[in-house]
Chains A and B, each alone.
Chain A
Amino acid sequence: MKYGFYPGCSLHGTGIEYGMSTTVVAKKLDINLVEIPDWNCCGASSAHNTDPLLAKALPARNLALAEQYGLNDIAIPCAACYQRLKMSELAVQKEETREEISEIIEMNLKGKARARSILEVFSNDLSEERIREEVVKPLTGLKVACYYGCLLVKPPEVAIDSTEHPLMMDRIITTLGGTPVEWDYKTECCGGALSLTRVDAAVMMTAKILHYAKLAGADCIATPCPLCTSNLDMRQKAAEKALGISINLPVYYFTELMGTAFGIAPNELGLDKHFVEAKSLLQNISAPAGQ
């Protein structure tokens, strides 16, 4: 299976372990991710806060590039990138907009490229059996709070799953042998947009998510979004302080958990790059019976 691959900026920076784990996991599953040559910024936050046209045009150039190279399915790990590219993809379905954008980016846009979240690719394009085949170290006994954030499920027109009660990641965790916990903060706001401007507010929002994950009995949190992860992971100390309790929940990209179950070495997945110590929990998973 061949996909265009759009890493976006976070996968080279704050979300480097997302990029590392996605690449190795995809390779294991025989998914060929071809990085779109000369890709540019998706424009997340800054562009659509300034100029609606720019917000469509920036991602559209990436769509046009993908089309040029015959990569009509674009796999995108970052949730923010996914949403920007998806919005642009939907906008250019309208012929009028497509012509306008084509002129701006000086490229011929056909409107054929599809923006796809890597979570949705793993979840929909692969059978559960295919994923299970690769599992050598099941996540037996690991209780995971699957946290989807907002960007993959809202607004409804770009949602990859149910907007209020998504289950894609939960199903993957189950396939890996882990136990997703039932909780209700799956799609609550992590405070991402306030992360730099109103740290106090952002910390409280993050703290609530962490608190409810803890109450639900989770050992760790899984996410598909670099923004959520940096808030939940990086700000966890501040959240603990604000709540006055100890949380200590490692925050994983779901691809890191896939990689771990596939038996990939922790450092290849980037497990050493976390704020909240993330390696020991996964090392302590009991080996399956008979091994």
Chain B
Amino acid sequence: MKRIGVFVCHCGTNIANTVHCDQVAEVAKDFPGVVYSCDYKYMCAEPGQQLIQDAVREHNLDGYVVAACSPRMHEPTFRKCAERAGLNPYMIEQVNIREQCSWVHADKEKGTEKSIDLLRMAVAKARKNEPLSSSTIPVTKRALVIGAGIAGIQTAIDIADNGFQVTLLDREHSIGGRMAQVDKTFPTLDCSACILTPKMVEAAQHPNIEMVTYAEVTAVDGFVGNFDVTIRKKARYVDFDKCTGCGACQEKCPKKVSSEFEMGLGPRKAIYVPFPQAVPNKPVIDAEHCRYLLDGKCGVCKKICPTEAVDYEQKDEVIVERYGSIVVATGFDQFDISKYEEYGAGRYPDVITGLHLERLMNASGPTAGKIKRPSDGKVPEKIVFIKCVGSRDEAKGRPYCSKACCMYVAKHATLIKEKMPQSKSYIFYMDVRTGGKSYEEFYKRTQEQYDGQYIRGRVSKIFQVGDKLIVRGEDSLIGRPVEIEADLVVLAAGMEPRADAVALARTLGISYDQHGWYTEAHPKLQPIETHTAGIYLAGVCQGPKDIPESVAQASAAAVKATGLLSKGELTSEAMIAECNEAVCAGCGLCISVCPYKAIEKKKVSERVHGQMKERVVAVVNPGLCQGCGACTVNCPSSAMNINGFTNEQILAEVDALCQR
């Protein structure tokens, strides 16, 4: 029989106030297998650990049980302690009598009784513990960043600067993302492109960064340290090796298409570069609109191209690459304002969103920086802003705050006044939330120096009379309805997850919340990590953020990703599933429930009645298995077991509880 030790911790008064620790230790002496038992004030402290190590040696213990806090807190401590005492670290058990007993109960007698029961079970389990060992897996020293907005770019540059290879991937054919569409940034009002484009160029030219644009991730296999990522590179119909980016094709292309980059406010061609500072600055053909690709007529771009770079025969290319870690930085979509029918959004051309206004203010935008309203090109004088459109609105399924809108509206009102001193901005708000360095001061300036009139209340309706938009709402501070005849209405549309965010999350195997934002592993202490090892988050894909926050999270993600890559190898989990081939029927139910694709079928040969027979059994890949246990509960013949949590051990615990 194994010789087991028991160590009961007081945790100062945390446990001792509700549990008679000395009594618990005393009763444990009579448990089968227990040869030594004691209690101590702080087991995790250095003298406590020393006490354990001494007892192991003195009493020749095969394993021990610590009754203390949650294993989440100190299991690694006591495992290391076991190792120092010469035991296999998996020969110990920790039973939680703090979070699951003393902290949640008031009656000391009952608390003691419960602690004894919990301990009795743990001892029964410990007697059946077997030494386990973990193996190591090599790490592919290369990272993938999905999404090349400001967050993705910053992550890629930081990883690359740390000396690791990184692939920066984007589905658009230029990197830059949302920030490239923005005119000026708050609170400093510096030009967005002026601070972004140097980073775009740096990313493009960095020797450690491989830029893969116009491409999407279609599948992810493997696990931390070794992800096998399938990437589909969309056909560009332009050979980038030959193309010099001269732009002749764009000029001559006869097909005009509404530009996505310009939010539909301006045209582009069917062969195009989305914006002048695009990286890479070479065009692609939009197959949905190209006349040649649609009906075989035209071909002007091919004729005009001096380097014969246009290639109508190009096809999508699928590649599989291996990465050690992945950073997801896929950003956001702007809330679809047409869901607010009362604002006539989608019906009235002069009801626009913040991003539309960015393009109308931008010097390289469709109006060359002169604010003209979309309907008739008139310069607006009265401009109404409505905040919280698609934010903080439960009726629209968007109860959260989009965080950046309060500041970008203040920025818009300031810039409009600067550009057009005769204009007047009215801002309908629910609350003004300008937490952030120098943000509140900026908002105050908008009110005091830039004549932004803030009206507290919601707008109930916008309608058109003549060429004016009548904005009807309530001023809830004076308790009166207000009506403003506006020339232009700007809705501060909130942020929402990318339309296909959930699909990508499923491909990656990361979790997401009810809205589709990717979930961090811990809201306070692990805001960068996902629940899936080796995959990290940066920027708005995790939740609404402004630029500085996105950049900060991006650099943090880079640190996490690099930290993983800088390890030569990873220690795999020891408590993983194992198949008892002798009883496995090869039904494959475990394969279908395994979330990590860690189980496969294999053929085994065995001699039955003197004849060699082949049959199929399940086999667990120890590198992939995370020890979740889904296969064990699903196995009809109990062939699957989690090492360290075998069926036998669980039953021993149940028996111990029933036999008291």
Contacts and interface: CB of A to CB of B under 8 A. Distances in A.
Interface in B310-347: 341-342, 344, 347
Interface string B428-469: 000000000000000000000000000000000101110000
Interface stretch (A22-30, A68-76, A140-148, A157-165): A157-165
Given A184-B461, A184-B463, A184-B464, A162 B341 contact: yes
Interface centre among A164, A185, A215 (most CB of B within 10 A): A164
A212 B464 CA distance: 10
B622 to A, nearest CB: 52
B341 A165 contact: yes
A184 B341 contact: no
Task: Report the interface size class on chain B.
Answer: under 10
Interface in B452-508: 461, 463-465
A136 B565 CA distance: 79
Contacts of B347: 165
Contacts of A165: 341, 344, 347
B465 A163 contact: no
Nearest to B461: A184
A215 B464 CA distance: 11
A185 B464 CA distance: 10
Nearest to B346: A165
B336 to A, nearest CB: 15
A164 B342 contact: yes
Contacts of A185: 463
Contact of B341 (A163, A183, A212): A163
Interface string A159-202: 00011110000000000000000011100000000000000000
B342 A212 contact: no
A164 B341 contact: yes
A220 B464 CA distance: 20
B530 to A, nearest CB: 36
Contacts of A212: 465
Tell me if A's interface is mostly helix, strand, loop or mixed: loop
Contacts of B341: 162-165
Contact of B344 (A162, A163, A184): A184
B342 A215 contact: no
Contacts of A164: 341-342
Contacts of A163: 341
A215 B470 CA distance: 14
A210 to B, nearest CB: 14
A36 to B, nearest CB: 34
Contacts of B464: 184
A204 to B, nearest CB: 13
A189 to B, nearest CB: 11
Contacts of A215: 465
Q: Which of A162, A183, A184, A185 has the most CB of B within 10 A?
A: A184
Nearest to B464: A184
Nearest to B463: A184
A212 B483 CA distance: 15
Nearest to A164: B341
Contacts of B461: 184
A183 B465 CA distance: 9
Nearest to A186: B463
A137 B170 CA distance: 59
Nearest to A166: B341
A245 to B, nearest CB: 15
A146 to B, nearest CB: 15
Interface in B276-304: none
Interface in B334-365: 341-342, 344, 347
B563 to A, nearest CB: 50
A237 B20 CA distance: 89
Nearest to B347: A165
B268 to A, nearest CB: 30
Interface in A36-59: none
Interface string B31-54: 000000000000000000000000
B600 to A, nearest CB: 49
A164 B463 CA distance: 11
A51 B464 CA distance: 40
A164 B339 CA distance: 10
B341 to A, nearest CB: 3
B482 to A, nearest CB: 16
B464 to A, nearest CB: 7
B202 to A, nearest CB: 48
A212 B463 CA distance: 11
A207 B387 CA distance: 31
A141 B465 CA distance: 22
Contacts of B344: 165, 184
Nearest to B341: A164
Contacts of A184: 344, 461, 463-464
A98 to B, nearest CB: 28
A72 B344 CA distance: 37
Contacts of B465: 212, 215
A188 B461 CA distance: 10
A212 B344 CA distance: 16
A162 B341 CA distance: 8
A185 B465 CA distance: 11
Nearest to B395: A156
B542 to A, nearest CB: 32
Contacts of B463: 183-185
Contacts of A183: 463
A212 B347 CA distance: 18
Interface of B: 341-342, 344, 347, 461, 463-465
15 contacts: A162-B341, A163-B341, A164-B341, A164-B342, A165-B341, A165-B344, A165-B347, A183-B463, A184-B344, A184-B461, A184-B463, A184-B464, A185-B463, A212-B465, A215-B465
Given A184-B344, A185-B463, 13 more contacts: A162-B341, A163-B341, A164-B341, A164-B342, A165-B341, A165-B344, A165-B347, A183-B463, A184-B461, A184-B463, A184-B464, A212-B465, A215-B465
Interface of A: 162-165, 183-185, 212, 215
**Cβ-closest 5 pairs across A and B:** A184-B463, A164-B341, A164-B342, A165-B341, A162-B341
